[in-house]
C-alpha cells in the first residue's frame, strides 16, 4: 500500500512535467508541482524558518530590507508583482539570504557586514529573487521527484491529493521538510544563472550592477580565506567575480535608463 501511494503520487506529479526555457536560455524540466502547491510549500518553509530562528526586531534594518525588496519586485513580471511579498530579518551572524516561491524573503543580519550599501544588498536579494524568477525551486523539486528523492515533498503532494494519512506514510519513508527542500543549496548551474538574472534585475530597479562585484569581494575578504557556508556551495568565487565584472558594463545603460525613468531607490 505504501509503495502504491508513493508510486501514484510520483506518477501523477511526473505526468505534469514539461520542459521550458530559463531566463538565460537553458532547458529546464518543471511541472512536478503546481504553482499553488509551490507557493504553499514556500509559505511552509518560511514559517518553519521563522519558528526555528530568532527574528531581528530592529525596525530600521527591517525597513531597509523591505525597501530594497520592494524596489526589485516592481521590476518583476506582472504575476510576480501581484504576490504579497513578505520579508523577515533573522538575528544570525552568518551572511546569508534566501527567497522562496510565494513571495517570501529572509535575510540574516550577518549580510549587513558584507553588503555595505543598498546596491550591494540589492545584489544579494536580486540573486535570491532570481532563483524564484528562474523557477529553480520548481526545477529542483521536479528533478528530485523524478529521481524518487525528496520524500518530504512527495509527502506534501500525497497529502494534498489523498489526505493526511498518505502524507504521513510518505514522510515515514524518509522525511524532508519543506524548509530543507527549499533552503538546501541549488546546483552550481542554478547559482550562476541566479547571478545573471539578479544582476540584470538590480540594474532594472536602479541599483548599480557594478556593485555586485564589490559585494562578492567583500564576502571573500570577510571570510578570512574560509568561505562561509553560503559561499561553499556556490560557484568558485573568483570565477563569479570575473563573470559579474564581465557583465556589468553591458548593464550600465539599463541602470542609467532606469534612473532617468525615475527608478532611484533611496533605501539607506
Helix, strand, coil distribution of the chain in percent, nearest 5: 60, 10, 30
Q: How far does CA 53 lie from the centroid of its chain?
A: 18
CA 222, 224, 229, 230: dihedral to nearest 10 degrees?
Answer: 40
Most confident of 158-167, 211-220, 232-241: 211-220
Active site residue 128: yes
Band (17; pLDDT cuts 50, 70, 90)? low
- What average pLDDT does range 209-217 have in this prediction? 95
Q: Which residues contact 117 (CB under 8 A, 6 or more apart)?
A: 211
pLDDT in tens, 147-173: 544 445 545 444 443 344 434 433 443
pLDDT of amino acid 139 = 81
Catalytic choice (128, 191, 193, 243): 128
Cβ atoms of residues 234 and 191 within 8 Å:
yes
Q: Which residue has the higher pLDDT, 34 or 5?
A: 34
Q: What is the model's pLDDT at position 169?
A: 37
Average pLDDT, the chain: 79
With cut-offs at 50, 70 and 90, classify the pLDDT of residue 268: confident
**Domain spans in the chain, listed from the N-terminal domain onward:** 35-137+184-260
33-37, 40-44, 189-193, 247-251, range with greatest mean pLDDT: 247-251
Which backbone phi and psi does 224 adopt, to 5 degrees? Answer: 55, 50
Which residue spans within the chain are E strands per DSSP? Answer: 18-21, 27-30, 86-90, 97-100, 104-108
Q: Taking the complete model, does pTM exceed 0.75, yes or no?
A: yes
Q: Name beta bridge partners: 87.
A: 105
Q: Is the pLDDT of residue 9 over 80?
A: no
Q: Are 156 and 178 in contact (CB under 8 A)?
A: yes
Amino acid at each position: 500500500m505504501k509503495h502504491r501511494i508513493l508510486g501514484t503520487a510520483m506518477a501523477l506529479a511526473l505526468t505534469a512535467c514539461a520542459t521550458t526555457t530559463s531566463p538565460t536560455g537553458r532547458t529546464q524540466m518543471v511541472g512536478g508541482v503546481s504553482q499553488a502547491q509551490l507557493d504553499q510549500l514556500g509559505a511552509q518553509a518560511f514559517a518553519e524558518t521563522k519558528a526555528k530562528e530568532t527574528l531581528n526586531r530592529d525596525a530600521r534594518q527591517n525597513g531597509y530590507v523591505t525597501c530594497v525588496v520592494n524596489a526589485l519586485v516592481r521590476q518583476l513580471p506582472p504575476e510576480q508583482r501581484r504576490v504579497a511579498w513578505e520579508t523577515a530579518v533573522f538575528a544570525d551572524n552568518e551572511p546569508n539570504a534566501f527567497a522562496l516561491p510565494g513571495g517570501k524573503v529572509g535575510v540574516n543580519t550577518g549580510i549587513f557586514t558584507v553588503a555595505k550599501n543598498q546596491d550591494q544588498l540589492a545584489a544579494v536579494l536580486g540573486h535570491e529573487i532570481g532563483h524564484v524568477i528562474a523557477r529553480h525551486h520548481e526545477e529542483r523539486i521536479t528533478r528530485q521527484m523524478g529521481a524518487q528523492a525528496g520524500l518530504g515533498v512527495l509527502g506534501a503532494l500525497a497529502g494534498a491529493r489523498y489526505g493526511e494519512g498518505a502524507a504521513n506514510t510518505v514522510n515515514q519513508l524518509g522525511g524532508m521538510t519543506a524548509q530543507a527542500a527549499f533552503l538546501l543549496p541549488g546546483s552550481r548551474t542554478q547559482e550562476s544563472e541566479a547571478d545573471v538574472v539578479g544582476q540584470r534585475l538590480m540594474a532594472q530597479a536602479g541599483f548599480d550592477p557594478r556593485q555586485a562585484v564589490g559585494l562578492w569581494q567583500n564576502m571573500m575578504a570577510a571570510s578570512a580565506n574560509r568561505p562561509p557556508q553560503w559561499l561553499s556551495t556556490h560557484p568558485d568565487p573568483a570565477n563569479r567575480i570575473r563573470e559579474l565584472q564581465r557583465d556589468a558594463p553591458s548593464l550600465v545603460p539599463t541602470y542609467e535608463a532606469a534612473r532617468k525613468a525615475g527608478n532611484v531607490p533611496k533605501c539607506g
